[in-house]
Each structure stands twice: as structure tokens, then as C-alpha cells.
Amino acid sequence: MRILVTGAGGMLGQAVTREFQGRNHTVTALNHARLDITDLAAVKQALAEYTPEVIINCAAYTKVDQAETDYEAAVQVNALGVRNLALACKETDAVLVHVSTDYVFDGQKNEPWNIYDARHPVNAYGRSKYLGERFLETIAPRYYLVRTSWLFGPGGPNFVETILKLARQKENLTVVDDQWGCPTYTIDLARALAGLVESGCYGVYHITNQGATTWYHFAREILAAAGAKTNLKPVTSAAFPRPARRPAYSVLDPFPLKETIGYLLPPWQDALMRYFAERRNTDW
């Protein structure tokens, strides 16, 4: 298939590009400098030039706290950018794969969120992503809406690298222990996205590595894997105020992912070990 990847310079975009290239698809990888998805004319021109059968949108505004004071910028990319891609796909009959977030949910459940649960984002970033989902659902004729969470992987800033950096700088760290979610390795997510695209089963999917954890327990596993001696202390979200409120429980239910691609992603602990193995073998 002819695949066009937007946001190809980012952490997920790089992984997606490599995965589809490895499956012998014809891949056009466009970073922000080559395609600004907030420019409708540019989006239409790109689709006319490269004639993709499938567009995978990895472009996103991901600064959760900054979105509280820069909501317009978040909406431009996360909502209007998706609208532009959907409009162009409608004209060309291309399939649109859009990556969204667990932050479209309010976190007020004590069981995993399924694909039919009502969306009530609690922060500006989540609202911008929710608007993008609505544009996708109402405009794109054929689409995959994929929600994921807590991404880490090569080629970009992520929680693993943040914790490792802080561990080198400080003897004591505090990390919140009352926000639950699913860490997700971009390499595993990219493989699952390719499986979805090749399945032809359009719709809404939740894709994360298996297992739920808190940021504190995630950090503890990171430090243990790195052999760091940093003292780690759990704290509540109330003791660690941030501009943007976070959902307390945003674990995602993967049904019907296994029924579509034949497997679920490995546990996040396994993914973390593979990430560290790759780090040791590269110059990340």
C-alpha cells in the first residue's frame, strides 16, 4: 500500500515509518517542516502529489500543561489538523488513521474504559483531542480511531528519559501514585497500527501495552532497570499541583483489538525491558 505518515519526525511517527517500511509498503514520511496539517491547502497538495491509500496521522500537540494557556494552538493541530486530513481523505477516498488519547475520558471509573464509553475530557489538551475525534467521525468516510496512552520509545522526549535525567541530577524524587494508566511502547503500537491497516477492519480501537500502573510504580521500574540508587517517594496529585488536571484512572480496555489483529500487546514491563535493551545498543 501507499502510506503517508504525518508528524513523521516525532517519537511515534518515526516508529510508524520504520514499521511500515519493514513491511514493504511504499511510505512517504512527512515531518512538520514538510507538511503542516493545519494548512488545508498544503494537506490537499500533499495528497495530490503522493496519492496515498492510507494516511497515518502522528502529528499532535502534546504539551498537556501548556495547552491550558495555549488552547488555540492545541486546537489548531489536534482538532483542525484532523479536520483538514479528513476533508482531504473524503475527496480522495483515502483511509485515515488517527492516533488519539486516553485523556478524552474523565477518569471517574474504576474499570478500564471501553470504546463506547462517553468522552468527558477534564483538561484543555483532552478537549482538543476530543474535537479531533469528532471531526474524524463526522467527515472521514473510512477511518481508524486509535486511542493510546503514556507513550515511550526512541526518538523523542518521554517519561522514561525524564525519570532517568532526574535520577542523574537528584538523590530524591517524588512521583504521583494516584493516577492509573497503561504505558505504551511506540514500537509495539506501530506494529499494531500496521496490523489494523492491513486488516481492513475500520473503527475505534484502544491500543496500549497490557497492564495498569501508576506513574510512581512506572518510575520505580524504570529506576530498577537502570540500576539507579535514587530514593523514590510516592505523593498524591494534590501534593504535586499542575496547570492541567489529569484523569485519575485512564486504563483502556483493548476489546476488540485481539479479535481484529490476533494478539494483544505484551505487558508494559516487558516493553520497558526491550526499550532499555535498545538504548544500550544505540546512541539514544
Q: Which residues are catalytic?
A: 125
Distance CA 218, CA 78 (A): 27
Question: What is the torsional sign of CA 43, 46, 47, 48?
Answer: positive
C-alpha cell at 204: 475505534
Residues in a beta bridge with 133: none
Q: By the 8 A CB rule, do 264 and 210 touch?
A: yes
What SS3 class is residue 163?
Answer: helix
From the list 53, 70, 61, the residue with the least C-alpha distance to 100 is: 61
Question: What is the torsional sign of CA 145, 192, 267, 214?
Answer: negative
C-alpha cell at 188: 509495539
Q: By the 8 A CB rule, do 52 and 3 touch?
A: yes
Within 13 Å and on the Cβ side, how many CA atoms surround 284? Answer: 20
